[in-house]
């Protein structure tokens, strides 16, 4: 569905198909509630609901190079880790030729002591953590500069729909959820009852999750080794 189609559907759900000069929704007045704003908020909320069912759909990969004596790596367009749509890392894996693609353990800052990594430790990184929302830290601090040393998998941030012809990057079967959630937000603003919309949203989400989004390739390896055999 295009942004226009989502907006028309959302307006229908709240019985307001057109811009009303005295109404709550006015797409040509910046200081009025704007359905296009609600639609972009709704996209992100629907993504959060779907990511547990189809994490691969919202996943991208990036190669990470190390720099000798550099522990912190900034994430962003043209930065150390060159990503322009970063939301969150899922995992980071070894990517060196001849090595198994084992994962780097994710830790919180207070767990470095548990792993016996001192504040100034250098060597082969065994774990990573968030230094801030746009920076990760490899610990111990790398001692070598290596290109594409690691491969990170991350969840990307959906682009806003900025034009009526734009199509949501969400699976097509879930596009109605964006309109329904935008209508739910409208009802919160308008202080109206939204229980019918909630039931409709959960119904479509359930059908999508159980009947389509849960489909997985039949040729696959379902067994998993112990975590300590996959992380180093």
Specify the pLDDT at position 24.
53
- How confident is the model over 108-163, as pLDDT tens digits? 888 888 888 888 899 999 999 999 989 999 999 999 999 999 999 999 999 999 99
Cis, bond preceding 78 (omega within 30 deg of 0): no
Of residues 186 and 129, which shows the higher confidence score? 129
Q: Is the pLDDT of residue 59 over 70?
A: yes
* Domain residue extents for the chain: 3-54+171-210, 62-156
Q: Which residues pair with 103 in a beta bridge?
A: 93, 231
Q: Is the pLDDT of residue 211 over 70?
A: no
What SS3 state is found at 155?
strand
Go through 87-119 and write b for each residue having 16 or more CB atoms within 10 A of its CB, e for each that does not: bebbbbbbbeeeeeeebbbbbeeeebeeeebee
52: confidence class by pLDDT, cuts 50, 70, 90: confident
What SS3 state is found at 38?
helix
Joined tokens for residue 45: 């909320």
Q: Output the average pLDDT for the chain.
A: 82
The CA distances from residue 201 to 36, 45, 146, 219, in Å, are 19, 12, 48, 32
* pTM of this prediction exceeds 0.85: no
Spell out where 25-184 has E strands: 59-66, 72-76, 81-82, 86-94, 105-106, 127-132, 135-139, 146-156
User: Among residues 210, 170, 151, which one has the least CA distance to residue 40?
Assistant: 170
């Amino acid at each position: 569905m295009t942004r226009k189609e989502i907006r028309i559907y959302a307006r229908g759900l709240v019985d307001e198909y057109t811009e009303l000069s005295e109404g709550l929704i006015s797409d040509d007045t910046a200081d009025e509630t704007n359905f296009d704003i609600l639609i972009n908020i709704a996209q992100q909320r629907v993504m959060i609901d779907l990511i547990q069912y189809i994490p691969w759909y919202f996943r991208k990969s990036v190669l990470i190079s190390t720099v000798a004596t550099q522990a912190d790596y900034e994430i962003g367009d043209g930065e150390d880790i060159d990503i322009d749509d970063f939301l969150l890392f899922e995992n980071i894996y070894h990517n060196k030729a001849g090595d198994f693609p084992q994962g780097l353990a994710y830790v919180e800052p207070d767990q470095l002591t548990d792993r016996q990594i001192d504040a100034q430790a250098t060597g082969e990184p065994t774990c990573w953590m968030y230094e801030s929302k746009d920076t990760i830290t490899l610990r111990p601090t790398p001692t070598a500069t290596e290109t594409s040393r690691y491969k990170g998998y991350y969840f990307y941030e959906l682009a806003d729909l900025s034009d009526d012809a734009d199509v949501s990057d969400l699976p097509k079967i879930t596009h109605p959820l964006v309109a329904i959630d935008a209508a739910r937000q409208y009802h919160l603003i308008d202080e109206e009852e939204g229980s019918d919309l909630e039931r409709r949203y959960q119904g479509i989400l359930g059908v999508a999750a159980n009947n389509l989004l849960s489909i997985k390739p039949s040729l696959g390896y379902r067994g998993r080794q112990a975590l300590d055999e996959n992380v180093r």
